Amino acid sequence: MEKLKQFFEPFKFAIKDGDSKTKLSLVVMGAGSFLRKQYVRGFTYLLIQIGFIAYMITSGLSQIAGLRTLGTVEQGQVFDEARGIYVYTQGDNSMLFLLFGVMAVLLFIAFVGVYRLSVKNAVENQQLCESKQPLISFKQDCHDLMDGKFHITVLSLPTVLVTIFTILPLIFMIFIAFTNYDINHQPPGNLFTWVGLNNFRDLVASNGIISGTFYSLLLWTLIWAFFATFLNYVLGMLVAMLINHKQIKLKKLWRTLLVVTIAVPQFVSLMLMSQLLSDNGALNGLLASWGWISEFQPIKFLTDPNIARITVIVVNVWVGIPYTMLITSGILMNVPQDMYESARIDGASAWVQFRKITLPYMLNVTTPYLITQFVGNINNFNVIFLLTGGGPLTLSYYKAGRTDLLVTWLYKLALTEKNYALASAIGIIIFMIMATLSLVVFRRTLEDGRESTFQ
């Protein structure tokens, strides 16, 4: 409420106490600037206004209106009486309607911001004039952009890029979740339209095959994220402790050997693993040649549902341990050594020392890292997609396999099934899960003032 009041403050002032120049700037943007000889600033505002009005009249308004229906004209044949033949007509393209509509709304919001800024400038100028102070010159403006307002200079390009390549597409996809954009409603041939919460109902509450798949995959995703995170964390830490141990020589060599495995790109090492572990792959071949298994009954590392689930977790340990080792070994050296000293004097065993000193210390320092890892593992696309491809497939799931995570299911639904609506709905649900979890990190790192402890 307070913020809303603040937003309208310049307008209130301009209407109530503004002089003619300020009042004019309510209608003609920048008037309060160029009438007071701030030419560059004033005419920039004016140009923006002219451009915006031209855009709204030619396309913007109809684009915003198009959001309501997402197109009405189907592509089809129309009888052309003049020529006496059937002609194909270009129908409406629902997707472009949605995309341009969202863009027009974003532009409109941006314009309102600029409009407010121009009025605010005019008000400031009037106040400066009344108190007989000099106005800000163009040169001063430029200097400000390098100094007092340096954040504008530095952040404008990132903001524009993030808006175009992240925010706009995201808003678009959030809207898609409320439409029926699937294989049967593909523009430009067919239209799609708003269906409200239908996709979410299918996923969460319908008790059909889709929601059955959703709940199974959700459960598996959480199990996977739990093991992938904590197994890597604890094992990686143990390895780091071993390498840090006084008795171990050649510390650097051991670290480097392990680090080599993370340096190899994941898509290479994972595709390689999928070859090694396949039914007629090298590992089964090796085991058979040693006579440990029969050649005709290979271990189904990637094709038996339960073994495959264990395999992906184990392979993820292989991928992840060097990384955790690298991160934790630095922190381990910071554990106050005198605590171990006194623990030893009291006769505590190595295990007790680990449980009572090392683990609590590490957990305290690395909780944010752990939660980020957990959240990251929920979205860990690579390991699953490149290793098993989500397989083994099953008929009891809707277009998914036994090792599919929600995020790889999303990928399959969007890219191979073209069921964008359902995929977007899943994306939103993943987001809600992650946002809830991240709130915990967020509280810890941003909101308790920890940020400024170093300054």
Partner 1 sequence: MKSIKFKQRLTSITGHSFLTVLCTVWLLPIVWLVLQSFRGESTGPTNNIIPRQFTFDNYINLFTDTRLFNFPRWFGNTLFVAVISCVISTMLVLMTSYAFSRLRFSMREKYMKIILVIGMFPGFMSMIAIYHILKMFGLTQTLWALILVYSGGAAMGYYISKGFFDTIPKAIDESAMIDGATKSQIFWKITLPMSKPIVIYTILTSFMAPWVDFVFASIIMRDSYNNFTMAIGLYEMLKRENIGTYFTQFCAGAVVVAIPITILFIFMQKYYVSGVTGGSVKG
134-135-138 Cα angle (round to 5): 125
> CB within 8 A of 46, min separation 6: which ones?
28, 29, 30, 31, 34
The DSSP code sequence of 366-425 is HHHHHHHHHHHHHT-HHHHHHHTTT-SB-TTSSS-BTT--HHHHHHHHHHTS--HHHHHH
**Cα–Cα distance measured from residue 30 to residue 33, given in angstroms and rounded to the nearest whole number:** 5
Q: Work out how close the CB of 402 gets to partner 1 at its nearest, in angstroms, rounded to a whole number.
A: 20
Q: What is the DSSP letter of 191?
A: -
In the complex with partner 1, which residue's Cβ is closer, 73 or 248?
A: 248
Chain centre to alpha carbon of residue 448: 24
Q: Work out how close the CB of 65 gets to partner 1 at its nearest, in angstroms, rounded to a whole number.
A: 20
Q: Work out how close the CB of 88 gets to partner 1 at its nearest, in angstroms, rounded to a whole number.
A: 22
In the complex with partner 1, which residue's Cβ is closer, 208 or 285?
A: 285
Number of alpha helices (DSSP H) and beta strands (DSSP E) in the chain: 21, 2
In the complex with partner 1, which residue's Cβ is closer, 86 or 165?
A: 165
In the complex with partner 1, which residue's Cβ is closer, 29 or 410?
A: 410
Q: Work out how close the CB of 148 gets to partner 1 at its nearest, in angstroms, rounded to a whole number.
A: 7
| Alpha helix ranges (H) inside 193-250 | 198-204, 209-244
Q: Work out how close the CB of 322 gets to partner 1 at its nearest, in angstroms, rounded to a whole number.
A: 7
Q: Write phi, then psi, for 7 (nearest 5 degrees).
A: -65, -40
Q: Work out how close the CB of 398 gets to partner 1 at its nearest, in angstroms, rounded to a whole number.
A: 18
In the complex with partner 1, which residue's Cβ is closer, 51 or 265?
A: 265
Sign of the torsion formed by the C-alpha atoms of 314, 315, 318 and 323:
negative
In the complex with partner 1, which residue's Cβ is closer, 103 or 204?
A: 103
In the complex with partner 1, which residue's Cβ is closer, 125 or 424?
A: 424
Count the neighbouring beta carbons within 10 Å of the beta carbon of residue 347.
7
Q: Work out how close the CB of 166 gets to partner 1 at its nearest, in angstroms, rounded to a whole number.
A: 5
